[in-house]
Chains A and B, each alone.
Chain A
Amino acid sequence: MADKTLDAKGLNCPLPILRAKKTLKEVPAGGTLEILATDPGSVADFAAFCRTTGNELVESTSNAGVYRFVIKHVA
């Protein structure tokens, strides 16, 4: 269970990333943020976001057109 969930469904690039970055600030270090999105581009984008910022992409899955990401707040 993530510490916080962000519903970014229906939002297009770059909004899921911008909202996630903003919401990540409310997650304590070591905590996790769950993001739900429908933008297919977000799969590559969240991976790149995490590699660049040093946060950990714990999970990246999809189910019935909804992408689910879990990011551990490291940096």
Chain B
Amino acid sequence: MTNNTDDGANAKSMTIIVTKGSLDWAYPPLILATTAAAMGVDVTLFFTFYGLEILKKKLDLQVTALGNAAMKMPMMGMHMAMPNIVNMLPGVDAGATTMMKNLIKSKGVASIEDLREAAIESDVKIIACQMTLDLFEYKATDLIDGVEIGGAATYMERALKSDINLFI
């Protein structure tokens, strides 16, 4: 595994269980993983259920305000929330996703592609859940290279030795 001795005094470790695959929810685990790695922390990400979307070779993450009353987009100097009945219409999610991607770009926020690349570059260990692959009929070849396939025991072995374990 990654040797932290060249990265300062920090030899701590962290694991995150990544369960969500929407554009907005993909950010917290990747931001924490890349930043922790930059601070010399040995990081493991375990992708399960919808989190697997983040490991697809071709990313197509979407955002939806449906059932998310707190999602308000800045628009013309105000913040706009959408009633669920509007969010159900075809094309509204695609519109919200485009809007979010434009905001991300204009505010200098990293893209998910960039953060994923940064995670791989900084030796973040990536484990994809075997059971979820079976369940949703995905193959390991649908995922980016450098992914280890494992199950709950693989995760637990690392989690038991880690200083921080998060579920996102």
A positions within 8 Å CB-CB of B: 10-15, 17-18, 20-21, 39, 49, 52-55, 74-75
Contacts and interface: CB of A to CB of B under 8 A. Distances in A.
Contacts of B110: 11-12, 14-15, 18
A52 B34 contact: no
A52 B108 contact: no
10 closest A-B pairs by beta carbon, nearest first, are A75-B8, A21-B38, A53-B8, A54-B8, A12-B108, A14-B35, A10-B108, A12-B109, A11-B108, A54-B9
B8 A18 contact: no
A10 B122 CA distance: 23
Interface residues on B, range: 10 to 19
A18 B7 contact: no
Contacts of A15: 108-110
Contacts of A18: 34-35, 38, 110, 118, 122
B10 interface: yes
B107 interface: yes
Nearest to B110: A15
A54 B107 CA distance: 30
A34 B99 CA distance: 34
Given A49-B39, A53-B39, A13 B10 contact: no
B143 interface: no
Nearest to A48: B39
